Amino acid sequence: MVNRAGLMGDMANIYLNPSVLNTNWDELPQIISQIKADSDFVHLDVMDNKFVPNQTFTFERAKEIISKSTLPVDAHLMIIDPDEMAPKYAKAGAASVTVHLEAVKDFARTINEIRINGAKVGVALKPKTQLVDVIPYLPDLDLLLIMTVEPGFGGQSFMEDQVAKIRAARFEIEKLNLQILLQVDGGITKETIKIAKDAGANCFVAGNAVFKSENPNETLQQLRAIASI
Ligand code: DX5
Ligand code: ZN
Domains of the chain by residue range: 15-227
Average pLDDT, the chain: 95
Q: For position 1, what pLDDT does the model report?
A: 47
The active-site residue, picked from 40, 48, 142, 185, is 185
Q: State yes or no: is 133 an active-site residue.
A: no
7 has pLDDT over 90:
no
83 has pLDDT over 70:
yes
Q: Does domain 15-227 have CATH number 1.10.3720.10?
A: no
Mean pLDDT, to the nearest integer, of 126-153? 98
pLDDT digits (tens, 9 = 90+) for 66-78: 999 999 999 999 9
Share of the chain above pLDDT 70, in %: 95
169 has pLDDT over 80:
yes
Using the mean position of ligand 1's atoms as its centre, give its distance from the Cα of residue 186 in Å. 5
Ligand 1, atom 7, lies closest to the CA of: 151
15-18 β-sheet, strand order: 15-18, 203-206, 181-185, 143-147, 120-125, 96-100, 73-78, 42-47
Q: State yes or no: is 106 an active-site residue.
A: no
